[in-house]
Amino acid sequence: MSGPAVIAAGETAQSVTERICAVTLREGARPWTPLWWWVAFAVSLGLLGTGVISVAWLFYAGLGIWGIDWPVVWGLDILNYVWWIAIASGGTFISALFFLLGVEWRTALNRLAESLTLCAALCAAIFPILHLGRPWFFYWLFPYPNTMGLWAQFRSPLAWDFFAILTYVFASILFWYFGLLPDLATLRDRAGRPGQRVFYGVLALGFRGSGRQWRHYRAVYAVMAALMAPLVVSVHSIVGMDFAGSAGTGWHSTQFPPFFVFGAALSGFAVVLVAILPLRALLGLQAYVTARHIDVLGRLFLTSSLCVAYAYLMDAFSTFYGSDPAERTMFVLRVFGLYAPVYWGTIILNILLPQLLWWRAVRMTAPLIWLIGLGVLVGMWLERFQIIVTSLARTQMPSSWGQYTPTIWEWSLLFGTIGLFLTTFLLIVRLMPVVAMAEMRAMLRGGVG
C-alpha cells in the first residue's frame, strides 16, 4: 500500500484495545474525566438551556414569536432543518458507503462519524414538528385514520419530511448501535467497576464473540450498510423535492435533489473534520487517525466543494436560460439586492475557501483545514438562507414582496440545537468507544495498514 499508513507502526490488536478502553473506562494514571470535557459539557448545556426556553415560550405564545410572515412563511426553522439533516450525512457516507467499497481508512473514523450523524439527525428532527403550528398534534402526520376518517396528506412536503427524517433517525440509531455491540462486549469484559460491568453488559445484549454470533453480525452489518448508503441519498433527495415540488420562485427545478445531495456531502465531510481534529489531539488518537486520514478527508472535502460549485453554476445557467422573468429578477436581487452579502458569503465560504485544499501543505495543517471546515459549515447555513428566504421574499407578484428578519427566539432555538448536538456528542464520546476496536483488530490481523 502506497502513502502513509492508516495506523501507526507498532500498533497491535492488544494495544488498540487497551488504549481505547482506557479512554472510555478511564483506566490508568488518570481515572477521572478530563477538565476539557467538563468545560465543553457545561457550555453545551448552557446552549441547550436557551433552546429549551425558546421551545417552552413557543408552545406558550405560538409561532408569532418568530419573524415569519407572508410571503416568507419559512424562516430559520426550515432553514435549520435542512442544514442539520445535511450535516448528518457525513457519517453515513464514511461509515456505510465506504464500507461497501472496502476502504480501509474508514475504520478509525466510522464510529465518530456515525455518532455525529446520530446527533445531527436528532437536531434536525425537532424543526419539522415545531413548524407545524400545533406541534402537540404532530402524530397527525402518521398514516392512520382518525376519528373523522381522514388520513395524512401524502402530497404535502410536511408528510415527506416526516417520513424521511423518521426513517433516517431510526436507521441511523440502529446502524450506530449495532456496530457498537462487539466493542460494548469488550468494555463489559474489561470494566473494573461493578456499575460499568452492568451498564455495558446490558448494552452488549449478550454478545460473547462466538463464531455463530460473528457470522450473523457481519451479515447483518453488511445488509444495514447496503440500506444506509442509498438511504442517505434518498433522504436529501426528498428534502430537495420539498422545494422542487413547489411553484415557488427559483425552486421548481429538477436539479434540486442532486443539488441537496452535493451540499449534504460537503456539510457532512466538513463537520467530520471539525470534530475529528480536536478530538484527535484531546483523546490521543494520533496513532489511529493518522496523516493519511486527514489527507483523504481533505480530498473528499475538496471534491464535494467542486460538485457544489457545479450545482451553483447550473442554478445560474438554468435561471437565465429559462423563460421566467420572475426567476431572473429574483436571482439578480439575490446577487445584488438586500441579501447579497448572504449570497457572496456562500460563494466565498463554500467554493473559494476550499480551493486551498489543492495544496497538500494546507491539507496537512490541522488549524487551517479546521478553519476551512468551520467556514464551510457557516457557508452552508448561508446557502440555506439564500435558497429559502430570498425565493420566498421575491414571489411571482411584486405586490406580494416582503422581507424577513429572524427574531431572538429563532436564534436561541438555533443555538439550542447546537447545544443539543454538542451535549449528545460529548456524552457519546465519554461513554462509548471512540474508535471501532473490533474493526481495528480485524484490520490489523489482516495485515492492512
Cell representation of residue 372: 476551512
Question: Quick one: what percent of the chain has pLDDT higher than 90?
Answer: 49
Q: 24 Cβ partners below 8 Å, 6+ apart? A: 187, 430, 431, 432, 433, 434
In whole numbers, what is the pLDDT of the chain averaged over residues?
Answer: 88
Whole-number pLDDT of residue 168: 86
Which of 65-74, 240-249, 280-289, 423-432 has the largest mean confidence?
423-432
What digits encode the pLDDT tens for the residues 138-192?
A: 887 777 776 666 677 777 777 777 788 788 888 889 999 999 999 999 999 998 8
Q: What is the pLDDT of residue 234?
A: 85
Q: Going by C-beta distance under 8 Å and a sequence separation of 6 or more, which residues neighbour residue 400? A: 70, 71
pLDDT of 4 higher than 70 = no
Give pLDDT tens digits for 29-39: 556 788 999 99
Query: Which distant-in-sequence residues (6+ apart) come within 8 Å of 269 by Cβ?
Result: 90, 93, 297, 300, 301, 304, 373
pLDDT of residue 344: 96
Query: What confidence score (pLDDT) does residue 1 get?
Result: 39
Residue labelled with grid coordinates 429559462: 322
Asked which of 205-209, 252-256, 358-362, 433-437 is least confident by mean pLDDT, the reply is 252-256
Cell of 132: 407545524
Give me the pLDDT at residue 27, please. 65
Higher local confidence (pLDDT), 327 or 91: 327
The count of C-alpha atoms lying within 13 angstroms of the C-alpha of 380, restricted to the half-sphere facing its C-beta, is 30
Domain boundaries, the chain: 13-143+170-445
Enclosing H/E stretch for 436: none
Quick check: 449 pLDDT over 60? no
What stretches of 358-407 show up as alpha helix (H) in DSSP?
A: 360-363, 366-393
Alpha helices in 97-209 (DSSP H): 98-100, 110-130, 157-190, 194-204
Closest CA to 331 of 390, 244, 279, 262: 390
Does residue 62 carry a pLDDT above 80?
yes
Which of 137-151, 332-346, 388-402 bottoms out in mean pLDDT, i.e. has the lowest? 137-151
